[in-house]
Structure 1
Amino acid sequence: MPSQASQVPLDRWFSSERPMGVSASILIGLVTVTAWATAWSDWYSYRTLKTYGADPDKLDEADLISGSLGIISALALFAAAAVFIIWLWRVRWNAEMFCRGQHRFTRGWVLGCWLVPVVNLWYPKQVVDDIVAASDPRTDPHTPTLKEIPGTQLVWAWWITWVIGLVTGNIVQRGVLAGASQLGDLRTNVILSSVSALFTTGAAVLAVILIQRIDELQSVRPWVPWWAVGTPHNGYQPPAR
């Protein structure tokens, strides 16, 4: 898909996105806490059914805890996602001025890549790959395209852990086992919820590191727009990552 990066974006200058990145990191940490709280509530529901059987009062109490934590988890995830996407949008602006290289997707996909089913399993990674490549001081400002630059291991690790946590937490657990009332189903729910929390924690740690990494790249690279750097370098090869 064509990008607007080949045009001179005279409507905006560079800006440090460190405060927004710190805010996103804090909210991502909160998502990790709520993921483990959800895993605990699933364990509590399992223990309640196993210990008290069909006692309606105990089951209602467990359902109330589970439902309340579910709402809190959803709100935390929404807040973290909103701030992270805003941060991603802004660092994309910077990246487009550092390097004229064509991004794989237009700027609108910085938001849309998370919302469109199926493609949201790999488009966001490619968006981040291009931002990292354009922000890296080793990337020539006149590089024509960014997709040929190899992605980093950090982005790969972050994305794989995020997708596994997403699948186990939202698709398998909440889809297949939603409303489970049998003891065996609840035990499976506990296992999946714990796996999801584990991978969500890993993805959260890697996301915070990734935010810091992009901030470092954009801070170290001279804030000079690509159109003011001079002529392209002949025979330029993308740097190895």
Structure 2
Amino acid sequence: MGLSASILIGVDTVASWASAWSDWHSYGALKAFPDDDGKLAQADLISGSSGIVSALALFAAAVVFIVWLWRVRWNAEMFCRGEHRLTRGWVLGSWICPVVNLWYPKWVVDDIVAASDPRTPPQTNLLRGIPGTRLVWAWWITWVIGLVLGNVAQRSTLDGAAELGGLRTNAVLSSISAVATTAAAVLVMVLIQRVNELQIRRPWTPWWAADQAQPPFGSSAR
């Protein structure tokens, strides 16, 4: 499942670059052929088609990634008794609820990584006290940047901005979004592999059957 998610995330990254290219194409068409309705209609068709393909690629990648996330969350709850900051339903809900989707998914992943790490004792009570990793921080920051800029560019396209300056701004935003999305894609692929490796390395023993004498997390070096 992690491999499938990584492949689809790669496809979505390619689609984001195709969308950025289509925005530059629209800008170039209006600049070179301002009075040619045929050229402009063709550019609009390309832009709309790339937007649809990009949306479908994102949806497919999101579905598989969330299924993977749900599975590793289930494993994490078995490995460690530590209370996650959010209930399991937020593995999905954190991505679709407005506003909180800017930080809730990171909390979900942070707690999964903490509970999956073999260095975290099974009897740890709370996971929120375990410092997050740089990998998760880097992935989340680049993802949010790409998401916000991509949404601004998409909204501008849906508003039908036909002025040359507006199209150029839209193309610049799409390009920056594609760069950030690419960085986020690479980082999340590494993150998927890291979590899978942590869960493979961790003994497959439920926390309630683990050594009760192990101290909770707090003083061990990480």
Q: What TM-score comes out, normalization by structure 1 length?
A: 0.89
1:5 match: none
2:155 match: 175
Report the aligned-residue RMSD: 1.2
1:184 aligns to 2:160 (yes or no): no
Deviations 1:153-184 (A, max 9, x none): 000000000000001011x2122453110001
SS in structure 2 opposite 1:39? helix
User: In the alignment, residue 39 of structure 1 is paired with which amino acid?
Assistant: A
Give the 5 Å matches for 1:81-160. Answer: 81-160=62-141
Whole-Å separation in 2 of the counterparts to 1:181 and 1:173: 13
Whole-Å separation in 1 of the counterparts to 2:93 and 2:213: 32
Work out which of the residue numbers 15, 25, 28 in structure 1 matches 2:6: 25
Whole-Å separation in 2 of the counterparts to 1:101 and 1:198: 36
% identical aligned pairs: 69
SS in structure 2 opposite 1:28? helix
Give the 5 Å matches for 1:30-45. Answer: 30-45=11-26
Work out which of the residue numbers 64, 69, 73 in structure 1 matches 2:50: 69
- Structure 1 residue 139: deviation in Å? 0.1
Whole-Å separation in 2 of the counterparts to 1:234 and 1:33: 47
Structure 1 outlier segments of 4+, above 3 Å: 238-241
- Structure 1 residue 233: deviation in Å? 2.6
User: In the alignment, residue 205 of structure 1 is paired with which amino acid?
Assistant: V
- Structure 1 residue 207: deviation in Å? 0.6
- Structure 1 residue 236: deviation in Å? 4.2
Whole-Å separation in 2 of the counterparts to 1:113 and 1:228: 31
- Structure 1 residue 240: deviation in Å? 4.8
Work out which of the residue numbers 203, 210, 214 in structure 1 matches 2:184: 203
Work out which of the residue numbers 228, 235, 238 in structure 1 matches 2:209: 228
After superposition, the Cα gap between the structure-2 partners of 1:234 and 1:224, relative to the gap in structure 1 and judged at 3 Å, is: closer
After superposition, the Cα gap between the structure-2 partners of 1:133 and 1:48, relative to the gap in structure 1 and judged at 3 Å, is: same
May I ask how many residue pairs the two structures share in their alignment? 221
Deviations 1:201-220 (A, max 9, x none): 00000010000000000011
Whole-Å separation in 2 of the counterparts to 1:148 and 1:191: 40
After superposition, the Cα gap between the structure-2 partners of 1:179 and 1:235, relative to the gap in structure 1 and judged at 3 Å, is: closer
- In structure 2, stretches of 5+ residues that fail to align are none
Tell me, yes or no, if the aligned pair for 1:149 and 1:239 is still in contact at 8 Å: no
1:166 match: 147
Whole-Å separation in 2 of the counterparts to 1:239 and 1:200: 35
Tell me, yes or no, if the aligned pair for 1:142 and 1:226 is still in contact at 8 Å: yes
Q: What TM-score comes out, normalization by structure 2 length?
A: 0.96
After superposition, the Cα gap between the structure-2 partners of 1:141 and 1:66, relative to the gap in structure 1 and judged at 3 Å, is: same
After superposition, the Cα gap between the structure-2 partners of 1:165 and 1:101, relative to the gap in structure 1 and judged at 3 Å, is: same
- Structure 1 residue 230: deviation in Å? 2.2
- Structure 1 residue 234: deviation in Å? 3.8
Deviations 1:91-149 (A, max 9, x none): 00000000010000110000000011000000000000000000000000000010000
User: In the alignment, residue 96 of structure 1 is paired with which amino acid?
Assistant: E
Whole-Å separation in 1 of the counterparts to 2:213 and 2:73: 21
